[in-house]
Chain A
Amino acid sequence: MAPPTNALPPVDDALLARVHAALAELTDPEIPVVTLADMGIVRAVRAAADDPTCVEVVITPTYSGCPAMAQIEDDVRATLQRLGVRARVTTQLAPPWTTDWMTEQARAKLRAYGIAPPGRCADTPTAGEQVLRFVPRAPAPVPCPRCGSMRTREVSRFGSTACKALWQCLDCHEPFDHFKPH
């Protein structure tokens, strides 16, 4: 059993660094080449505001219904338990996760893995803007992750997981996944 709270030292930088390092090993269950930190899923590792002896790991869900989220939370908990630190996992919804939080490193890893990384979300329509014209503005070109060609087409807006769309390269003819800007 854990000793009484008041016997524990407050969380310090060295402990946070240890937790950080351990969590840095964790990868996305569906895309095992990127880590949770790369994806922007781990939002914070800090001393809990209401209990300075407890480490708080803040994670944020990607898509509301992403089936990997439960696995991600379990992985984080298991890692914390292995470290033997007093910790808790908090899920935070706001601000909502966006692919803009993915690191450059994550984008490079996705490309190498055969998934075209998401473009920036800057063009996400804002309140009141018309989003549903059928004759579409040309979507931002998505370069083929295999041959780099810009001649690609969207096959289906919904792919193998909630976060991906299916594309095809018109030069090398390979189909590929595109991580949707979200």
Chain B
Amino acid sequence: MDALAVDTSVLTEYLLHLGDNALVLAQRNCQWCGVGPVLEEDLALANQSLDLIGQARLLYQEVARLQGGDATEDTYAYWRDAHQFRNYVLLELPASLPRVGYAQGDMDWGVTLARNFLYSALMVPLWEALQASAHAPLAAIAAKSLKEARYHLRHASEWVVRLGDGTDESHARMQAAFDHLMPYTQEFWTSSDFERAAVQAGVGVDVAALRAPWQATVEATLAEATLRVPSDQGHVPQGKLGVHSEHLSYLLGELQVVARAHPGAQW
């Protein structure tokens, strides 16, 4: 399964991209733990974050195995800085409407669920396709993650419809959430060098080919939610290349502080 005509560095970047997506969104959604709107939804988001952390761990473990030496999954989660993360910018944004720098905003349930919806609507067909990856460990991770992504998509799309087709207030806020987030989805479709190389080697999936099914899912669900599909223009996405918003380093600061304050600690 290692006899692949693919550079380890390409495979590594591709796996890190998938793992970083999962880890960053998990950390973002964990912020609802203890402050969710109702207990059941608090649990729902915590459970989904657990799934995503599990996916990130499997991917990081595989990277560590490929790299050999002293690398472990923790190397990638705790000891890389923002510019080394390959996640979509969409996933690192705060759970609130746009704000700048230190400005504080209330966490917004609509933004959280709109983001989960846009992301899992991509991940369901992506994991589906990755089950055929030429890199057997990635195919196995995809088959596991797919089952979880389907649950996440169902949860998020139900909320999109409930809030979009709800009161005037919930409708307006859900629409504002999509207006805010949609431009960041452009990043799904602009492929990077490592993605192109991974596709060529049969390891990765050409995400551009998933655009039509993604669009269909988004249009059908937003129509059901009586929401307008907003324009995705107005953002230059480079998260996959390590160019992130100012929000990622704050997020990582929180995620990494214990590991960095007590390197190698055991309990």
Contact = CB atoms under 8 A, between A and B. Distances in A.
Interface stretch (B108-116, B145-153, B169-177, B240-248): B145-153
Contacts of A93: 58, 137, 140-141, 143-144
Given A94-B139, A166-B40, A65 B50 contact: yes
Interface of A: 61, 63-67, 93-97, 124-125, 127-128, 130-132, 134, 155-162, 166, 182
Contact of A155 (B40, B150, B153): B40
Please indicate which of the listed interface residues A67, A95, A131, A161 has the most CB atoms of chain B within 10 Å of its own CB.
A131
Contacts of A128: 128, 213
B141 to A, nearest CB: 6
Contact of B51 (A125, A131, A162): A162
B2 to A, nearest CB: 15
B213 to A, nearest CB: 8
B128 A127 contact: yes
Contacts of B150: 125, 131
A158 B43 contact: yes
Contacts of B139: 94
A64 B148 contact: yes
Interface in B58-104: 58
B182 interface: no
Interface residues of B, number: 41
B106 to A, nearest CB: 23
Please indicate which of the listed interface residues A61, A158, A182 has the most CB atoms of chain B within 10 Å of its own CB.
A158
Contacts of B137: 93
A94 B55 contact: no
Please indicate which of the listed interface residues B51, B52, B141, B151 has the most CB atoms of chain A within 10 Å of its own CB.
B151
Given A95-B143, A96-B143, A64 B47 contact: no
B12 interface: no
Contacts of B220: 130
Contacts of A156: 40-41, 43-44
B267 to A, nearest CB: 13
B53 interface: yes
Please indicate which of the listed interface residues A93, A127, A128, A131 has the most CB atoms of chain B within 10 Å of its own CB.
A93
A64 B221 contact: no
